[in-house]
Amino acid sequence: MSSFVTPPVPPMRITFDARMEPSGPVLTRRMSDLRGLFADTAAWEASLAEDPVVYEVASSPVPEAEGELPQSITTIHPGKVGGEFHMTKGHIHPRPRGEIYLGLSGVGGLLLFDGDKPEWIPMEPGSIGYIPPGWAHRSVNTGDEPYRFLAVYPGDAGHDYEWVLRNGMGYRVLGGADGPDLRPF
Residues 126-161 have pLDDT tens digits of: 999 999 999 999 999 999 999 999 999 999 999 999
pLDDT for 1 equals 44
- Specify the fold of 15-174: Jelly Rolls (2.60.120)
pLDDT in tens, 86-104: 999 999 999 999 999 999 9
Domains of the chain, residue spans = 15-174
Q: 3 pLDDT band (50/70/90 cuts)?
A: low
Q: Output the pLDDT for position 9.
A: 76
Gap between the Cα atoms of 129 and 52, Å rounded: 27
Q: Report the predicted TM-score, pTM, of the whole model to 2 decimal places.
A: 0.93
Name the nearest CA neighbour of 74 among 117, 119, 138: 138
The residue-averaged pLDDT of 105-122 equals 97
What is the pLDDT of the chain when averaged over all its residues?
Answer: 93
